[in-house]
Structure 1
């Protein structure tokens, strides 16, 4: 590759994880798997970044690759962490499920070439992360045997599947793991966990179940199953996340709301004054 020294060894894993997420960006959601068991896809990368246009068969449609320094990509500076695991959270029909907490654990002793991880094998290390708005995140890892899982956000409906395992057999390899949710799934922009993520508020909003209605991608009504009136109207810009427009109860007149861009379908939430 023309890269030498310690700097080169650190650069290669970062190039690989960007390549892995970029590869997942290239394919359309129509190719998403519809099987009832988790899918793991392995692609060998013999020490170099794949050329443009190389994609994996089970990659989802996304809009941007997330760099290793971005939030949600756990860092691993271990010298032997030269391979990449990409975890995806999607519905059975391939719709991205965003902002799902996920975990990846390495178990030893285990021979990854055997594709067998016996019960009782010791967990050596665990990494935690959260999938992004496109339902994916990546981990730099060494060769080995792994289990992965998730903590479904409140209000989501995960597919009841057993233990998820994957095996990294060689340095430079990219392995994909998939965690699935039932359909129908909301548009990722209108998903409850997306709005909760963008609002940036802590408990009880992050631990209670949200209900989203009237969502058109720019305006929505959201409430939580907590005591009191938790309902609010939220709005989203073209280049910004969801923010609170008004909390209930409120005294904003419809004339003011419509002047501020509130769509007609939300008129019932305002006073006629």
Structure 2
């Protein structure tokens, strides 16, 4: 039993060292790197793939930083949206109070107006509830998108390390303690992780789009009922609609 436990522990540590682990574990640093000094004397004309993969890695790092910044912004936006939601509940409470006062007046015009205002407040509350769900789905998508860009970042780095090793191998370099077989496998492993992360990110995006559609329809209906356009920000609005960064209403 002790031997089995030790074997399991060793397996877990080995996976962690390679940036593996469970399917949904965050990516870790690469396990293998190829020292630049081993190809320092190789001509630049033979290192074009190294240059390209290094540039790709640099772009991937910037894209990951942007994704993390977008996620942080979405978290702040969600807090603001939830505060707006609380405001719509207060509007309902006020409308209910006004309706009770109107009913006590026995004035039908006042009663009808108060009932209309309550219905409008309830419609706006439904829109606010769906807006919260939309922003939650949007935030969840950005979480997965951030994970995806992190996976891409490490994959691009793995491509860079592979490119350096290939240049050295073609130049008949034989660095001590280096096994050229490390690098193709490392790149392939990271590539598979990217594919898995992309699938999960795409799935969350579809959920966010569906949540947006549900909110948009209810908000449009509520705006028509209130007679006022909400002009609320819509982070997933198509570019053709996002000039004003607001949900349109008529």
Higher CA-based Rg: 2
TM-score of the two chains, using structure 2 as the length reference? 0.25
More strand by share: 1
More helix by share: 2
